[in-house]
């Protein structure tokens, strides 16, 4: 097991390198560092200011390899930055000059406070609904629920948010319709609405998916065996279908776990939650390459972490699998 994990970790190094190279190319193919400086400095910036800005951040160096002959070949923008990332130094924002490690540290907790409850509540609800739909499958309620799920899926999340905020701010007034304060237990009152909306907006697709997965499981021979043993339908679902379905669920769900830390763009924007959700998004728009790069770097580590976690959970949940 340990040997397996170590081998996987070695496989990850070239992937991270590839991801960073791809990001670099994608970003600087889209816009030269020059264009980026213009965006940051605004339409009134003079060429001299642009040049100075680029120089201060090292963006005036050759992009991939230094072939000017005046400096060592590795003194290029990409390689310098890879070197920095290899030391886990995330660098500073191009726009605000603030150390990014600090930005990410500050944003992680609010993001997690939003996504973790939403994720688990959503997961639990979807699984319960899906199990219930499998229980009454092929009936009228099942069909109606299918329609409802597709309807939930086709309504964009913005509409949920606007409706939800309107309801809370114009009718109920029970708790704030906007805002965020980290202050112990009462933080919850700010999270109630966004968490609920996140759950609702994800529910349709998840219920459909899980229902399909559980139905698939229902057709298996061992379900027939269990029923032949006299196990009640409810227990067949809760015990046999659920545990086997769980294994499929793990591949889908666990890989996305590390990404909870990245928050949710739309919800964080609408509710003023100071999370990491729109970090990447607004960095692409700003544009702030340093932030994009750091986000992608962390993102790829999280993704690979998710893969590893999936492997481990898989081995834990499915007795047939041993990691070698």
- 294-313 residues in contact with another protein (CB under 8 A) are 295-296, 299-300, 303-304, 307
Check binding of 314 to another protein (CB under 8 A): no
Are 204 and 149 within 8 A, CB to CB?
Answer: yes
Single out the segment in contact with another protein by CB under 8 A; choices: 45-53, 78-86, 114-122, 194-202: 45-53
Interface residues for another protein in 59-88 (CB under 8 A)? Answer: none
Check binding of 22 to another protein (CB under 8 A): yes
Closer residue to another protein in complex, CB, 16/90 = 16
Are 291 and 94 within 8 A, CB to CB?
Answer: yes
Interface residues for another protein in 246-275 (CB under 8 A)? Answer: 247, 266, 268-272, 274-275
Closer residue to another protein in complex, CB, 79/291 = 291
Candidate list 202, 208, 249, 258; residue touching another protein; CB under 8 A: 208
Closer residue to another protein in complex, CB, 69/219 = 219
Candidate list 113, 201, 240, 254; residue touching another protein; CB under 8 A: 240
Interface residues for another protein in 98-157 (CB under 8 A)? Answer: 98, 102-103, 106-107, 132, 135, 138, 146-147, 150-151, 153-156
The dihedrals phi and psi of 214, each to the nearest 5 degrees, come to -70, -35
Q: Residue 240 has what DSSP assignment?
A: I
Instruction: Show Cβ contacts of residue 109 under 8 Å, excluding neighbours closer than 6 positions.
Output: 182
Per DSSP, the residues of 243-281 read: HHHHHHHHHHHGGGGGGGGG--HHHHHHHT--SSTTHHH
Check binding of 181 to another protein (CB under 8 A): yes
89: left (phi over 0), alpha (psi -120 to 50) or beta: beta
**Residue where the block lists tokens 């160096």:** 61
What is the separation of C-alpha 94 from the centre of its chain, rounded to a whole number of angstroms? 24
Candidate list 2, 48, 70, 72; residue touching another protein; CB under 8 A: 48
**Residue where the block lists tokens 């939930």:** 152
Closer residue to another protein in complex, CB, 23/67 = 23
Pairwise CA distance, residues 221 & 225, whole Å: 6
Closer residue to another protein in complex, CB, 84/178 = 178
Instruction: Show Cβ contacts of residue 107 under 8 Å, excluding neighbours closer than 6 positions.
Output: 263, 274, 275, 276, 279
Best CA proximity match to 153, nearest among 206, 117, 96: 206
Check binding of 322 to another protein (CB under 8 A): no
Which residues face 92 on adjacent strands?
99
Closer residue to another protein in complex, CB, 65/188 = 188
Check binding of 7 to another protein (CB under 8 A): no
Interface residues for another protein in 24-43 (CB under 8 A)? Answer: 26-27, 29-31, 35-36, 38-39, 41-43
Candidate list 1, 5, 6, 18; residue touching another protein; CB under 8 A: 18
Closer residue to another protein in complex, CB, 85/266 = 266
Instruction: Show Cβ contacts of residue 275 under 8 Å, excluding neighbours closer than 6 positions.
Output: 107, 108, 110, 111, 114, 263, 264, 268
């Amino acid at each position: 097991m340990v040997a397996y994990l170590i081998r996987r970790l070695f496989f990850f190094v070239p992937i991270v390198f590839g991801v960073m190279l791809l990001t670099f190319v994608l970003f600087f193919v889209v816009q030269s560092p020059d264009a980026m400086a213009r965006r940051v400095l605004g339409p009134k910036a003079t060429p001299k200011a642009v040049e100075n800005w680029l120089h201060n951040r090292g963006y005036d160096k050759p992009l991939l390899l230094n072939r000017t002959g005046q400096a060592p070949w590795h003194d290029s923008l990409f390689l310098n930055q890879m070197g920095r990332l290899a030391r886990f130094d995330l660098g500073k924002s191009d726009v605000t000059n603030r150390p990014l490690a600090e930005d990410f540290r500050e944003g992680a907790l609010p993001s997690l406070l939003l996504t973790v409850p939403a994720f688990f509540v959503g997961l639990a609800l979807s699984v319960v609904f899906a199990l219930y739909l499998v229980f009454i499958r092929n009936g009228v309620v099942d069909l109606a629920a299918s329609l409802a799920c597709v309807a939930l899926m086709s309504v964009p999340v913005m509409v949920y948010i606007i409706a939800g905020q309107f309801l809370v701010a114009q009718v109920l007034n029970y708790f704030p319709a906007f805002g965020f304060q980290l202050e112990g237990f009462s933080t919850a009152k700010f999270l109630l609405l966004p968490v609920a909306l996140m759950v609702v907006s994800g529910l349709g697709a998840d219920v459909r998916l899980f229902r399909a997965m559980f139905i698939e499981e229902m057709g298996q021979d061992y379900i027939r065996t269990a029923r032949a043993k006299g196990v009640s339908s409810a227990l067949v679902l809760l015990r046999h279908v659920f545990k086997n379905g769980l294994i499929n669920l793990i591949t889908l769900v666990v890989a996305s776990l590390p990404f909870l830390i990245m928050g949710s763009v739309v919800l964080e924007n609408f509710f003023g939650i100071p999370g990491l959700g729109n970090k990447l998004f607004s960095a692409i728009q700003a544009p702030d390459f340093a932030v994009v790069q750091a986000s992608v770097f962390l993102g790829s580590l999280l993704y690979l972490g998710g893969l590893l976690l999936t492997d481990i959970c898989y081995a834990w949940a499915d007795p047939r699998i041993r990691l070698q």
